Every structure is written in C-alpha cells, then in structure tokens.
Structure 1
Amino acid sequence: MGKLSATAVKAAKRPGRLGDGDGLFLIVQPGGGKSWMCRVQKNGHRRDFGLGSASKVSLATARERAREIRSWVELGLDPIFERRKAEGIPTFRQAAARVIAAHSKTWRNEKHGKQWHQTLEAYVFPQIGDLQVHEITGPMIRNLLSDIWLAKPETARRVRQRIGTVLDWAYASGYRENEAPMRAITKGLPRQPRKDGHFAAMAYSKVPSFIMKLTARESFSRLALRFAILTAARSGEIRGAVWEEFDLDAKIWTIPAARMKAEREHVIPLSLPTLVILERCKELRIGSRSLVFPGARGDAPMSDMTLTKLLREMKESVTVHGFRSAFRDWVSEETLYPGEIAEAALAHRVRDKTEAAYRRGSLLEKRRKLMDEWGDYCQNVDKNYPMSDS
C-alpha cells in the first residue's frame, strides 16, 4: 500500500516532492501545479520519468504506470521506447513528413523540400515507406540503395543522407532503440566511381567570342547569361536578382545574405558592359515587376535549367557555374591581382583564420578595377573561336 491517498494528493499545497513509495513521487510546483514522476535505479544509474499531470492522472493510474516502468527497466527495456510503441510508432513515410516540416523552417527556398519529396517518393517509399521506423534494418536500407548506388551515385548519396536524417529523428524521439547503422551500410556498398568535382568550364580565351555569340540574338536568358559571366556570380544569384538590389549611380549590386550561398551579404562592382545589360533590361521591363531577368511567366524567376538549356542549344558542353572557373583562371594567368581579390570577387568562404582577418573588408575598390578589366577582356574577340550561331 502506498503512502499517499487521493485526499492527500488533492490537499497538497506546499511546493516540494511527496513520495508514495517504490519510486513514485508527487511533484508540487511553486505555482500550484502538480505532476507525477517515477524514479528508477538500476546498475548504479538513476532515471526519472514523467507520468503526467496530477489533474489528469489519478493516483491509481500513476501507480500502475510506475509499476509498468519498473517492469520494463528490470527486463532491460527502454521505458520511453516502450511507451512510444504503446502510443503508436510512425511509419517511415509519416516520420519523413514530420522531419520535412521541421527542417523546412530553415530552408532558404522550396526547392529543397521538393527534392526531398521527389527522392523519397521515387527511391524510398516504395520499399520502406509503410514500415514503422523501428522495423527498418540496415540490410533494408542497403538493398534499396544498391539499386541506384552505381547508376546514380549523387542521387544515391542524397537518398542515404535523407534516410539517415529521418531515422536519426526517430531514434532521438524514442521510436527506435538503436541508431541506424548508416556508416556500416555505406561500407557494405561498392566504391562509387570518383569524379574530379569540377564544373565543366570554358577556357577563358574562348569567353569573348562566346559572349559575341550570345549577342547575336536577344532574350532574357541570353542577357542573364552574359550578366552572369561578366559578374562571375552564381546562376541562382542572377536569376533571383531584383531591381531593389542595384544602385546604378554607385555602380554596385548588393546581394543580401539570404540569397548568398555563404549567407553573407556580397557587393559586386558593376563594369560598363554589365551596366549596358541592365539598361537594356530596364527598357524591356514591364510595369513594376521586380525581377531583372524574369522567367517565362514574368513574375516568377526563370528555372535553374533555363541557362543550361541555352548552353545546350548553342552546342556548348560547359556549365553556367564553369564560367566562374574561367574568370578565376583568367585572374591567375593574365593579371597580377592577388588570389584573395579573386576569391573575394567570387564570394568564397575563407577557411584560414589569418587570411579571413586580412580580408574582413570587402576590397571593393580593388575588385572594381578587377571587374572593369574582366569586362574589357570579354569585349575582345578570339577570332579562332567559331562564330556561327546555332
């Protein structure tokens, strides 16, 4: 028989802890709130488990829950996990939905969420989507990854990472007794073919003639690609550019931190060729639309494939990002500007603390001279490069 009674529980007012026996306690808070707590000790380890509010859980129910917890501990089971099982463990599909909802608050755009949904729907849900998260084993994960591990290595790595994230959440939430053995799973798969990790780039000597080819016709995609080359900016930074970011009198483009890969504001000096492009975009602007390089729908940015499609139509195998490499190579081989100026122009993160301190300023005026010279270089045509347009 316990030490407490229903009447004593109701009458308890003084803040503190009242013991019922066998590790069951009534906790009275300074504000008057009351709750149940079960304390269990085994092998020198002590754990406390909340059993709910005393206003909703009766003394008899609290005693029953405490007995259940003590039994689980004696049997070597995790009470939190067992309680989750009793409440209903989610399927992988349900767990993934919760993880996506939680992570979406930190994603900078909707693209990440769409990628999560697409990869899980295509490669994961058909095999383990309807299994409860505690039933999913290492071999199951390895089997579904093995179907795409060599055929689609980059996709497979992303799928592996996303499965691991969902199962980490399940473990941390008490729905799995053990973490998923993602490292062991990777060890059990064949070695993927190595890639050099570089984006296909055009030789900088070919860039002036390529820009001339771009000017043979006019479209927002061609204007955007020319602007990307001349500013050495990333595709997403170009496609998302809005007029409010530009100060044409000061000849600068300020990209806010929220749109930068490094999550740090970046200022780009505008050369004469880039100002010419912006003036043309102003002439083509419809109403008060904010995008400098609007997509087909006008009020929405062009897709990330638009510029890639343009390159393919022009029979070029390079990538948009590769033009940043062409700019970097040109700085190294054709100018006397130090590397930190080029890195600042590319908005690269600096890992070395000493160099980062040296580059704490924006180096704006030095970069302005650099971008002017790059603009001048890009106006010169390499006559050895084929000029026929496609």
Structure 2
Amino acid sequence: MTYEELKEEILKYPDTMNNMERMKGYAMGQVVDRIPFSVAGGDTYASIYGYTQKQYRESLDVQFDVAERAKKEFCGGGMYANTGLGLRGIGEAVGSTAVYPENDFDYLTDFILKDYDMLNDLKFDPENNEFLQGKIEMAKKIVERMDGKAMVITGGAGPMTTAIAIRDASSFLRDLVKDPENADRLLDFCVDCNLKWIEYNQKVFGKVVVSMADPATSTNLLSPKLFQRFSKPYIQKQLNGIKELTGTIPGVHICGHTKKIWNDIVEVGYPSFSVDNCEDLAELKAEIGDKVKISGNVPPVEVMKNGTIDDVIHSVQECLIKGSDSPCGFSLAIGCQVPIGTSRENIEAYIYAARRYGRGAQKGKLCKGLYEEGLVS
C-alpha cells in the first residue's frame, strides 16, 4: 500500500468513541468501536514534528505543541504532567552520571555505587535534590498552565532495574551470586526510593497515576531461580507499598524474554502485562490470559522503524489474531519503546490497521473486523 492509498483508506475507519468511553466500555465487556491501543510517546512524536530531543526535554511550549498535534493526528492522550523517573532517574538522583544527547534518549555513563560501603551514604531526598525538584517544578508549570486539570503521572522502574542504575549491571549481577546480602540491601534501598518518590508526588499534587517498567528483571539477565530469589520479593514489596499509598497497582512492561516467569508476574499481583515482541502473544494468552490483561507486541525496530506500511499492517493483524480474544482483555501495543526516527507513515499505518481490523472489539472475543475482512473464520 502506498502512503497516498493509506491516507484515503484511513478516512473510512474513524473512531466513534473517545478513549475514556472505549476503555470503560471494553473493561465492562461491551462491544467498542475498535481495540484499545497505545502508540508512541512524546519524544518519538517530537522528531516527526521537527524537534530535537533536547528541545522537547527543555521547552514546555514544545511539549504542549507535540501533545496537541499528536492528539489530533495519532490518537494521543493529550498533555499531562509527567514526573516519572523512567529507568535511570533514581540512579541519577543519587549520583550516577547521566548523559542527555542532543537528539537521542538519555543514558548513564558512570554508576555511583562502587562498593557497598557507600550505600549508607546514598541519599534520595525529593525535597532537596536538584534533579528531582526539576521534575516537580516542570510538572507544577504544566498543571498551572492547564488550570489545575492536568493528570499527573509518576513512577519509574522495578527494583532490579533501579539497582542497575545505581551499581553497574555486571557488578550487580555478580553480587547476586557472590554477595547476596549486599544485593538485598541495595534492592531494599531501591524499593524505598521508588515508594518515597510516589509518596512525595502525592504530597505535592494529590492524586497521581503510577506507571512501571522493569526490563532488568527479564530472563535475558536473570535465571528464573535468581528472579524468584531476588527480583520477585522486592517487586512484591514495591507493589504492596504502591497499593498502600495509592489504592491501586500499576501494570508493567518488561523488555526481553519473560516466558519462564509469566506465572510469577501473575503471582506478584500485576493486573496487566505488556510483553516484548520477542515473545509470542498466543503463548502468553494461553498461559496467563485468563488471569491478567495482556498487551503487545508489534516489533518496534524491525517493523515500526524499518518496515514498510504493509509490514506494519500485517504485524497488527497478527497481533490481533493472536491476542484480541484473551479472556481478561487485550490492548494493542508496540513491543517496546518506539524508536526516534520512526516515520509518520508507519505510525499512521499502525493506527489504520488497528481501526480497520480491530473494529468491534470485545473482551474475550476476536475483533469483528478480523471476521469481516476474512482474516479469521
């Protein structure tokens, strides 16, 4: 399909519900206009609109412009106040060195915890830390600019992912075997930092929404045995703390292979699980789809960034066929973060395919669009 053909075709499949109506109706088991889906974040859209990552990070005007344009063009959720610390924020807050490229995602180059004698001296102080206060002040400006009506989204990473933002991954993974007592100390510290941040956000803003990702807990890095010994109990502690603070538990996205820990993910209490594209949605549905809502998993690089319009459409079809009848619900998503430089054409193709083949979605049933287009019988 050419881009010109795509632009004509997508007009045939408009949304007839807003996001809130769709999500509420779908959760209640009603038939909705199309499958719920998520696409990209503002950082990805920024490049489409000609902004660098630096401009997007530092300018509220740019962030508002991107949010409003993405809402109109890409079914975005609009502007909100984001105080989330991501995968590396707690590490940066306690002294790891972060690098913010002109036009790429941030990363860490040096990790503060060289040895465990330093751990007692690490301080996570939301009220006085310059980096953390920068997050809060930016969010306050957004809330003020939106007349107090902005949703505040906070959160960060799971304990294992937080730990490798404080101590380098190779050393910490070795600690799990050779120095488990200190590994436990660091994981406890990570849970405390995450909960302290959520609590502080509630103090400042009142009600907040919490998001969570935990790529370092995948079996790419941890054996199932190490996951159950180290990651699982601290995830459980963190989720219990989040529930105590907010009354709810967030879902999670975990990059990498997770098949061997799917039932553990259910046991710790996550209500929804977003899976990487390296795993099979049909297998995930069969294993835990009757216990949690699942989400996934169009490949971000091979398909969304480097594929053709037809590649994107085919991948969406495949995800819907494999996952849309999951008993506890399904939402279409990308298998991981959408890369900077992904084309407008491919994002529009994703939305088009979700609307066309995902129309008539109902929890626990294949989308009507799949039947009507002859993809299933």
Q: TM-score range by the shorter chain?
A: under 0.3
TM-score (norm 2): 0.25
Bigger Rg, structure 1 or 2: 1
